Amino acid sequence: MAESDETSKMRERLLRFERESRYLRKDSDERKVLEEVFDRSTQLAIEELIARKDLSELYGVVSAGKEARVYRGEDRAKDPVAVKIYLVSASDFRKRMSYIAGDRRFGKLPSGSRDTIYLWTRKEFKNLQLADTAGIRVPKPRAFLKNILIMEYVGVPPQPAPTFAESEVDEADYKWTFETIGTLWRKAKMVHADFSEFNVFKTPEGDVLFDMGSAVLATHPQAVQFLKRDVSNMVRFFRKRGISGKSPEEWAEEITR
């Protein structure tokens, strides 16, 4: 299939950024990136997002995880955006099922891994919207298409904001954490389900919760179990950093009361 000039230029540029940011170490890595991240359908989706004016530039990789890569981009107004591209070939899609099944927003379950990833992307977008509406500080969702999610860039480009894991944390962060878990539960009627020191940015303007693909509605059969796990993880993290208060049981009880 013939590739448009735009697409191949975009791909060349992305590869160069990946090389420069040393996410690519050997030739086989390079081939893998091409196949896994920029498969034909992802390239077309990027073109479509550009045509729709949701995106105008794509720069280097900010993060290269197992399941998703996050790029820095720019919108039409040259404001920075984060572009999260889920890897369609990631083999963990079965694991995701338990975070989708039981969510009444999404009806019939997809049968293949590609559709599962597309649904996951849509779910993260919806979850960000829901949290945003409830007044929780998250990266503002901008657009999504297939396996690509565009959102507000948090940090001072080219750097993303540091996470709790990379920052000093204090009592105010502790307070924010459990208030946020509580507001999510009571107002957004949602559980993050992957709340951890790696999924909260600490910025001069305040803490920002992100990575919301796993989040489930409070009606999900395992919602309470996920909430308890989120609470335990954060109690453990703050304890390691010398900040303690209520036990996980007390927090869970207080939040769901």
Ligand X SMILES: Nc1ncnc2c1ncn2[C@@H]1O[C@H](COP(=O)(O)OP(=O)(O)O)[C@@H](O)[C@H]1O
Please say if 29 is a catalytic residue: no
Residue 62 binds: one of Mg ion, ligand X, none (C-beta under 5 to 8 A by kind): ligand X
Per rule CB under 5 A, is residue 211 in the interface with Mg ion?
Answer: yes
Q: Which is nearer to Mg ion, 43 or 210 (CB)?
A: 210
Contact 52, 143 (CB under 8 A): yes
Please say if 173 is a catalytic residue: no
Q: How far is the CB of 211 from Mg ion (least distance, A)?
A: 4
Per rule CB under 5 A, is residue 230 in the interface with Mg ion?
Answer: no
Q: Which residues fall within 8 angstroms of residue 194, CB to CB, at 6 or more apart? A: 211, 213, 214, 215, 230
Helix axes 27-36, 5-20, angle to 10 degrees: 130
Q: Which is nearer to Mg ion, 43 or 177 (CB)?
A: 177
Beta strands 80-86 and 68-74 are antiparallel
Residue 126 binds: one of ligand X, Mg ion, none (C-beta under 5 to 8 A by kind): none
Q: Which is nearer to ligand X, 7 or 57 (CB)?
A: 57
Interface contacts to ligand X, rule CB under 6 A: 62-63, 65, 67-68, 70, 82, 84, 139, 151-155, 160, 163, 199, 210-211
Residue 215 binds: one of ligand X, Mg ion, none (C-beta under 5 to 8 A by kind): none
Per rule CB under 5 A, is residue 124 in the interface with Mg ion?
Answer: no
Q: How far is the CB of 26 from ligand X (least distance, A)?
A: 22
Catalytic residue among 103, 207, 211, 230: 211
Segment lying near Mg ion (by CB under 5 A), choices 95-103, 203-211, 212-220, 235-243: 203-211
Catalytic residue among 29, 39, 132, 194: 194
Tokens 């889920």 sit at which residue? 86
How far apart are the C-alpha atoms of 67 and 85, rounded to whole Å? 9
Q: Is the peptide bond before 158 cis (omega within 30 degrees of 0)?
A: yes
Q: Which is nearer to ligand X, 79 or 254 (CB)?
A: 79
| Positions in the binding site for Mg ion (CB under 5 A) | 199, 211
Q: Which residues are catalytic?
A: 194, 211
